[in-house]
Structure formats: structure tokens, C-alpha cells
């Protein structure tokens, strides 16, 4: 475990297989923000190349101050980690909020991004997104983290996977609760993604981008990924029939193979 100061906030990160060959892979988690959320990709890919995972500001073992949350600041944290670890460029794989971070990295730090996979993400908060996350925030502040988690598990997870892997789901939920951050910090992280909007700049991206999504994602519906693929020059779109918002866990082998091929095509 390593630490770096990014704009006055201590960020915890790991570099797995730091001396491995090839361009490093930086995994960008969703709103959960923690290293543990990336293990379905981090563990297998670390056998092949260096892999960087982090606890985003406000999550896990990183600092949790108030008033410092924006997707732009989260992107700056990625650059601070890369500078601290001596990493010039990396492949970026971002899921959900991580996909938003990847968009900012492509726009503001293009020389640091080898490729970007933007997965189950969005380009700006529309009415559906805003209602969804404003209600999440309201439930969080009124009823707490556990109630919110129990509710969102039914929308984040593929329904079939939810039922067939219920014991595993309960273990994951227990771990999430044990590592949960302060309610007000989590609320400010929700505000950060509601404020995110790179829709007017996406046409400026020159980095190779792959957009990936599941057709039955109830959190970031299919048309969000279709918008991203349409607005980002040269972006390709890959769709999964099911898997929900966490399709990259449900279909980890297929997803990892797809990411591997995309990286190798652009090295």
C-alpha cells in the first residue's frame, strides 16, 4: 500500500506486479471508489502487467475531508498516483464513475492515457440520472448507508445473478458496510457525479476509446453508452445482453479478454 498527496488529500493506492512488462493498467472504480471493487480485473491482469488500483478520495483508506469532491479532482488524483509511481502512461479501464474519470483523463491529460475503456458510464446527468441519484442521496441522508445499499443492490446487480449468487452478494454487502465512509462524504460524492458533464468536449478526444455496456443496465441505461460511442471520435461500442451495471463481474472472463485485446491492439 502506498500513499500520495493530491491537492492536500492523501490517496491510498497499490501497484500490483510493479516490475511486470508492458504498459500498466489503471483500474478506475465506480461510486464505491475502493480497490476491492476492481479485483475481478486486477488479479488476472496483474499476472500479465503492472496494475494500479486506488481508494478514491472519500473512500476506503484514503482521506475523507468535506468539500473536495469533483470528477476533475478524481482525475487529478490519478495523475498524482502515476507521477508518484513513475508511470508515464497507462491504459485506463473505468466503470461507471470510473468511466467519467476516464473521460476527463482523455480530455485533460491525453499524453498520459494509452487507451480508455469507458464502461457502464454516462456523459452528463439527464433527468433519469438526476432523479435516480438525488433519491439515492435523500435515502442516504435520511436512512443511512445500509438502507441505501440494500435498495441499490436490486438495481446495480443483474436480477438473475442476484438470486443465483445471493450468498456471495451478502458477503460483498457485509464488506461494503464494514468499509463504508461517512454519510456526508458519500453524499458529496453523489453531488460530484451529478455535476459531471463533458458532453460538449467529447468530440475533442483523440485517445483510442472502447465503450462497453450491458443492455439491461438499470443504472446507466444502454442509450448512455450509445451517446458516448457516438460523440467520441473513433470509439467502438461493445454490448452484453445481460449482467446489469456490474456486467464486468458477471462476465469477467469475456470482459477481461475484450480489454486485453483492446490494449494489445494499441501498444
One pLDDT digit (tens) per residue for the chain, 267 residues: 999 999 999 999 999 999 999 999 999 999 999 999 999 999 999 999 999 999 999 999 999 999 999 999 999 999 999 999 999 999 999 999 999 999 999 999 999 999 999 999 999 999 999 999 999 999 999 999 999 999 999 999 999 999 999 999 999 999 999 999 999 999 999 999 999 999 999 999 999 999 999 999 999 999 999 999 999 999 999 999 999 999 999 999 999 999 999 999 999
**Dist. CA 132–CA 28, nearest whole Å:** 22
pLDDT on residue 95? 98
Cβ 209 vs Cβ 234: under 8 Å: yes
pLDDT on residue 226? 98
pLDDT on residue 69? 98
pLDDT on residue 55? 98
pLDDT on residue 218? 97
The DSSP output letter for 202 is: G
CATH topology of domain 2-123+196-265: Rossmann fold (3.40.50)
The residue extents of the domains of the chain are 2-123+196-265
List, in order, residues 6 or more apart from 162 with CB less than 8 Å away.
153, 154, 169
pLDDT on residue 53? 98
With CA atoms as reference, report the closest residue to 50 among 19, 94, 86, 7: 19
pLDDT on residue 246? 98
pLDDT on residue 50? 98
**Dist. CA 226–CA 14, nearest whole Å:** 33
| Residues belonging to the chain | 267
Amino acid at each position: 500500500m502506498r500513499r500520495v498527496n493530491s491537492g492536500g488529500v492523501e490517496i491510498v493506492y497499490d501497484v500490483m506486479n510493479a516490475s511486470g512488462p508492458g504498459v500498466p493498467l489503471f483500474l478506475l472504480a465506480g461510486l464505491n471508489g475502493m480497490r476491492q471493487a476492481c479485483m475481478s480485473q486486477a488479479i488476472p491482469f496483474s499476472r500479465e502487467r503492472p496494475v494500479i488500483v486506488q481508494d478514491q478520495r472519500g473512500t476506503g483508506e484514503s482521506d475523507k475531508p468535506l468539500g473536495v469532491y469533483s470528477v476533475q479532482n478524481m482525475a487529478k488524483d490519478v495523475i498524482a498516483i502515476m507521477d508518484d509511481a513513475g508511470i508515464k502512461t497507462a491504459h485506463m479501464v473505468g466503470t461507471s464513475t470510473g468511466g467519467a474519470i476516464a473521460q476527463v483523463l482523455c480530455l485533460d491529460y491525453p499524453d498520459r492515457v494509452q487507451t480508455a475503456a469507458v464502461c457502464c458510464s454516462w456523459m452528463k446527468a439527464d433527468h433519469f440520472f438526476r432523479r435516480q441519484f438525488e433519491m439515492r442521496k435523500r435515502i442516504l441522508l435520511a436512512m443511512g448507508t445500509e438502507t441505501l445499499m440494500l435498495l441499490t443492490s436490486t438495481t446495480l446487480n443483474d436480477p438473475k445473478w442476484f438470486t443465483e449468487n445471493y450468498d456471495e452478494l451478502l458477503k460483498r454487502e457485509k464488506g461494503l458496510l464494514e468499509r463504508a465512509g461517512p454519510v456526508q462524504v458519500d453524499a458529496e460524492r453523489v453531488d460530484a457525479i451529478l455535476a459531471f458533464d463533458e458532453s460538449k468536449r467529447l468530440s475533442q478526444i483523440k485517445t483510442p476509446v472502447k465503450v462497453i455496456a450491458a443492455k439491461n443496465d438499470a443504472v446507466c441505461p444502454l442509450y448512455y453508452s450509445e451517446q458516448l460511442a457516438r460523440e467520441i471520435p473513433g470509439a467502438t461500442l461493445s454490448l452484453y445482453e445481460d449482467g446489469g451495471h456490474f456486467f464486468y463481474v458477471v462476465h469477467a472472463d469475456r470482459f477481461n479478454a475484450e480489454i486485453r485485446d483492446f490494449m494489445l491492439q494499441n501498444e
